[in-house]
Amino acid sequence: MIGVQTMIRKTIKTITQMIMKTTQMTNRRFIQPDMREAYSKCIDVIMKCRTEEQLNNAERYLRHYERLMQNSYLYPTIRKPLADRSVSNLLSLLKIKRKEFKDL
């Protein structure tokens, strides 16, 4: 019985979040995020890493960026291949940066 109540609460929370996102999209004051700015900031975060801990934090930042790209259905100007390509490019950059630390 408790498991069903928990599942219902999670479903209600998910539906409420979807309604809030839709409401924001129809609101005239809602400003869509600038994906180019997010991409360039992600590159800056990766390139400024000087320690392993910073690289781990950059990887976490990249996961947030990837989640933003996965939610790109909310922003009709972003196409899925572009989102996938940008995430894979940033992941490659992170791997190169990590390899640079291992070579030192």
Question: Do 92 and 54 fall into the same domain?
Answer: yes
**Residue 6 lies in domain:** 1-31
**How many domains is the chain partitioned into structurally?**
2
**Per-residue confidence (pLDDT) for residue 1, from 0 to 100:** 54
Q: Do residue 49 and residue 24 come from a single domain? A: no
**Domain shared by 80 and 69, yes or no:** yes
Claim to verify: residue 73 and residue 101 sit in the same structural domain: yes
Shared domain for 81 and 103, answered yes or no, is yes
Average confidence score pLDDT of the chain: 77
Range 85-91, long-range pairs (CB < 8 A, 24+ positions): 86/35, 86/39, 87/62, 90/39, 90/42, 90/43, 90/46, 90/62, 90/65, 91/62
> 44 and 70 in one domain?
yes
pTM for this model (two decimals): 0.62
Interatomic CA distance for residues 6 and 104, integer angstroms: 50
On whether both 17 and 44 belong to a single domain, the answer is no
Do 17 and 56 fall within a single domain? Answer: no
> Maximum Cα–Cα distance for the chain, whole Å?
57
Instruction: Specify whether 37 is located in the same domain as 22.
Output: no
pLDDT digits (tens, 9 = 90+) for 47-66: 888 888 999 999 999 998 88
Residues 56 and 88 in one domain: yes
pLDDT digits (tens, 9 = 90+) for 61-83: 999 888 888 776 666 666 777 77
How high is the pLDDT of residue 4?
65
